[in-house]
C-alpha cells in the first residue's frame, strides 16, 4: 500500500495529477489533497475523480494510469 495525493491545481490541459508519496513532482505542487492508501494507481485515480472528474496519473510516478 502506498500513499497517494492529488494536485489541487490543474495542469494546462485541465488534469489534476495523482502522485505517489515521494514523487519529485508531488514536491513541486503548491497545494495537494491526501487521497489515502491504495495498492494501485487505478484506485487512487478513481478516488481523486470524486473531487476532480478530470484526474490523471502522473506520467513519472503513475505512468500506467497516465492517459493524457
Report whether pLDDT(62) > 80.
Answer: yes
pLDDT band at 63 (very low <50, low <70, confident <90, very high): very high
> What is the number of domains present in the chain?
1
20 close to 2: Cβ distance less than 8 angstroms: yes
For residue 8, which phi and psi values (nearest 5 degrees)?
Answer: -70, -20
> pLDDT (tens digit, 9 = 90+) per residue, 5-58?
999 999 999 999 999 999 999 988 999 999 999 999 999 999 999 999 999 999
Print the domain residue range for 51: 2-65
55 close to 27: Cβ distance less than 8 angstroms: no
Report whether pLDDT(61) > 90.
Answer: yes
Would you state the pLDDT for residue 21? 96
Amino acid at each position: 500500500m502506498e500513499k497517494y495525493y492529488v494536485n489541487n491545481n490543474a495542469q494546462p490541459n485541465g488534469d489534476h495529477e495523482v502522485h505517489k508519496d515521494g514523487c519529485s513532482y508531488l514536491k513541486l505542487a503548491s497545494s495537494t489533497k491526501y487521497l489515502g492508501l491504495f495498492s494501485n494507481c487505478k484506485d487512487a485515480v478513481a478516488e481523486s475523480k470524486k473531487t476532480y472528474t478530470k484526474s490523471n496519473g502522473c506520467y513519472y510516478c503513475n505512468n500506467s494510469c497516465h492517459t493524457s
